[in-house]
Amino acid sequence: MKATRLGCITAALLLACSGGADLGSAPRFLAGLEIHHEINGPRALEAVRRLHGETPIEIVNAWLAQYGTGPSAMLYVGTARDGEKASQIVEAMGRRIAEDETPFHGIRPANLFGSDLYTMAGQGQFHFLFQIRDRVVWLSADPPVACRALAEALSRHADSSCELWLDSPARRRVP
């Protein structure tokens, strides 16, 4: 499982640096799977809040998209008031999952272009939690499409994040 996660993250990083747009709306395809169902606006906000139960989540907008009917993937994207708040939400969610009893196990944090990326498994899928600018992104995907789905979701924000990372002082010190 460890090698699979490392391979997923490596593949995602390579594809993410190839360019893309942002996750402002649901893409029609993800990992070769066509969008099957989409919810946005107030209905999506309510669905996200229901998923979090008693724990408040400070997002101002959201959309959810389900892809495929065989192997499948699900994207949950919530917009926070700004990038700092999105980062705080991702960090808090990762911490709660690691500390509490949840259906997710094997949570592993990583750093992606200066942002936290959490990988975990549960409910027969791989799950990825990360931030894209002011957005909080949760991706759930069946194992056959997990790596490709993550790579494509990440590539949709590569134009700014990857270029910022490649041009950062820390990166310039890498031989």
pLDDT tens figures, 95-126: 999 998 899 999 999 887 777 899 999 999 99
What does pTM read for this prediction?
0.79
Distance CA 109, CA 116 (A): 7
CB within 8 Å of 102: residues ≥ 6 apart: 96, 122
pLDDT tens readout for residues 43-68: 999 999 888 877 778 999 999 999 99
- Identify the pLDDT of residue 112: 75
pLDDT tens readout for residues 62-89: 999 999 999 999 999 999 999 999 999 9
- Identify the pLDDT of residue 16: 42
Domain boundaries, the chain: 23-142
Query: In terms of pLDDT, which residue wins out, 4 or 175?
Result: 4
Count of residues in the chain:
175
- Identify the pLDDT of residue 5: 52
The CATH class that applies to domain 23-142 reads alpha beta
Residue 133 pLDDT level (bands cut at 50, 70, 90):
confident
- Burial degree of 37 (CB within 10 A; 0-12, 13-18, 19+): exposed
